[in-house]
Chains A and B, each alone.
Chain A
């Protein structure tokens, strides 16, 4: 623990404890998950080497083999990276479309009650439909290439955008609304200067959830269609059928990391845009 020297100017004495506190907080958030990760790796090795005999070790290859047999193999890693690129394109395009449709739909619902009453139930139903059941149908209608994969992606990622945006638009403070009403502000002004900025934190929270789902959607579509240029889904499916377990694990880890990165990116972006005035840790 550092303490400021007694001669330090006032603002420094105020700064010091604050920085100590945040760095302690940071280590507090990083250390426990790290310990869990080490624990998992330890158990993993234990299962791999102690519980599985050599013929069955492919079920759970020891962690380092995922690197030596997959990540460090140039042909394998290049396959994975190319597939990741295709999956990323599908996920990001799908997410972008889901964001645009979701925000537009929510804005429309916030502007007219009849639109909300007549269409919001379908947003909820969309969320309840097991998308996997629809995937074959989407394949029939839209083929098995990028458009179909993107559609699967949109269907999975859409709901959190719609519901979060709508919630954000509708939970504007009553006093703030009346402030605008007193100046006889029109709908467009209220939307652009009050409702939309007020909804931004909720919109970013929705984006973060949808981003994770978009990755799931991109992989699921590809995994089931298994046609066209292979993305991570096809690759996982191939490795699975050929019992290439180190490669399978490598692809799964890559997909997971991509999900985490895109989730973290939207978390960061939200903080960047509205973190100045909105405290995300409170929600």
Chain B
């Protein structure tokens, strides 16, 4: 925990991991999910996107990961090491924690001995040591999400995409996982693009909060967040934090009519 990521990394060309220019997404049924989205994520950045439900936040991640191509605009992603954490943990119920965490390496043809070590390290990082032989159905929601995180960590991602990963968890578990995510972010040096509908989660986690409007999703405002890393949970109770949350909420309301 020696490395503290700078609040906003200087945006030189090589530092840019993700670059969206004027991206739009229209589904075959005619629904426009996104329009005119400009968004960049640089190394060292943790960008959070907040917006009302159905504003195309998830579509943004699907485009970034290559699952769905955008219908318009320029999308550049300057890495192949992309972690993707879904809304659900999407664990394979017949595999135990260890085998679930090994899955991605296995799909990429990493030899057994090597992926076992990588998985062990990832399990250790998310604090699940001792649960290797547990099946998903015996785990709590928070532990399933940790397993899912560990699984993506085995890819040693440069860009980590999070699609409302903690939305279904209770407040206490969510706050703990937020802290652990910040710890991982400062230690593992990935860039993050995090989708949420919680304003305080957005402000607490990120170096930059991007506010989206309702359908079609557009970026209405961007707020840099310069609290130092690793973040002290107590900042949640400071006046600056409350003020920033207020601004983000205000922008959300403004963009939502």
Which A residues lie at the B interface, using CB under 8 A? 173, 175-176, 178-183, 185, 189, 193-194, 197-198, 200, 274, 276-279
Closest-by-CB residue of A relative to B83 is A182
What residues of B have a CB within 8 angstroms of the CB of A181 in the complex? 67
11 A-B pairs within 8 Å (CB atoms) are namely: A175-B86, A175-B87, A178-B86, A179-B90, A182-B65, A183-B104, A193-B106, A198-B94, A276-B135, A277-B94, A277-B135
Q: Are B107 and A173 in contact (CB under 8 A)?
A: no
Q: Are B90 and A175 in contact (CB under 8 A)?
A: yes
Q: Are B67 and A182 in contact (CB under 8 A)?
A: yes
What residues of A have a CB within 8 angstroms of the CB of B104 in the complex? 179, 183
Q: How far is the CB of B59 from chain A (nearest CB, A)?
A: 13
Q: Are A274 and B90 in contact (CB under 8 A)?
A: no
Indicate the member of B92, B106, B135, B137 with the most A CB atoms within 10 Å. Answer: B92
Q: Are A189 and B94 in contact (CB under 8 A)?
A: no
User: In residues 83-138 of chain B, which contact A (Cβ within 8 Å)?
Assistant: 84, 86-88, 90, 92-94, 103-104, 106-108, 135-137
9 residue pairs, one from A and one from B, having the closest CB atoms: A175-B90, A183-B107, A277-B93, A277-B94, A175-B86, A185-B107, A197-B94, A176-B90, A277-B135
Q: Are B90 and A182 in contact (CB under 8 A)?
A: no
Q: Are B107 and A176 in contact (CB under 8 A)?
A: no
Q: Are B90 and A173 in contact (CB under 8 A)?
A: yes
What residues of A have a CB within 8 angstroms of the CB of B86 in the complex? 175, 178-179
Q: How many A-B residue pairs have CB under 8 A?
A: 48
Q: A180-B107, A189-B107 are in contact. Are A278 and B65 (CB under 8 A)?
A: no
Closest-by-CB residue of A relative to B88 is A175
Question: What's the dominant secondary structure at chain B's contact region?
Answer: loop
What residues of B have a CB within 8 angstroms of the CB of A274 in the complex? 94
Q: Are A176 and B92 in contact (CB under 8 A)?
A: yes
What residues of A have a CB within 8 angstroms of the CB of B106 in the complex? 193
Q: Are A183 and B92 in contact (CB under 8 A)?
A: no
Q: A181-B67, A182-B65, A183-B104 are in contact. Are A277 and B137 (CB under 8 A)?
A: yes
Q: Encode B43-61 as 1/0 by CB contact (under 8 A) with A.
A: 0000000000000000000
Indicate the member of B66, B107, B137 with the most A CB atoms within 10 Å. Answer: B107
What residues of A have a CB within 8 angstroms of the CB of B94 in the complex? 197-198, 200, 274, 276-278
What residues of A have a CB within 8 angstroms of the CB of B67 in the complex? 178, 181-182
Q: How far is the CB of A201 from chain B (nearest CB, A)?
A: 10
Q: How far is the CB of A72 from chain B (nearest CB, A)?
A: 48
Q: Are A197 and B92 in contact (CB under 8 A)?
A: yes
Q: How far is the CB of A169 from chain B (nearest CB, A)?
A: 15
Q: Are B90 and A194 in contact (CB under 8 A)?
A: no
Give bound CA distance, A179 to B66, whole Å: 12
Give bound CA distance, A176 to B93, whole Å: 11
What residues of A have a CB within 8 angstroms of the CB of B93 in the complex? 277-278
What residues of A have a CB within 8 angstroms of the CB of B84 in the complex? 179, 182
What residues of B have a CB within 8 angstroms of the CB of A173 in the complex? 88, 90
Q: How far is the CB of A178 from chain B (nearest CB, A)?
A: 6
Give bound CA distance, A277 to B136, whole Å: 8
Query: When the two chains form the complex, which single residue of B87, B88, B90, B108 contacts A183, counting CB atoms closer than 8 Å?
Result: B108
What residues of B have a CB within 8 angstroms of the CB of A193 in the complex? 103, 106-107
What residues of B have a CB within 8 angstroms of the CB of A179 in the complex? 84, 86, 90, 103-104
Q: How far is the CB of A280 from chain B (nearest CB, A)?
A: 13
User: In residues 188-233 of chain B, which contact A (Cβ within 8 Å)?
Assistant: none
What residues of B have a CB within 8 angstroms of the CB of A194 in the complex? 92
Closest-by-CB residue of A relative to B136 is A277
Closest-by-CB residue of B relative to A197 is B94
Give bound CA distance, A183 to B154, whole Å: 13
Give bound CA distance, A165 to B93, whole Å: 18
Give bound CA distance, A178 to B135, whole Å: 21
What residues of A have a CB within 8 angstroms of the CB of B107 in the complex? 180, 183, 185, 189, 193
What residues of A have a CB within 8 angstroms of the CB of B66 in the complex? 182
Give bound CA distance, A278 to B93, whole Å: 8
User: In residues 2-36 of chain B, which contact A (Cβ within 8 Å)?
Assistant: none
What residues of B have a CB within 8 angstroms of the CB of A279 in the complex? 137
Q: How far is the CB of A279 from chain B (nearest CB, A)?
A: 8
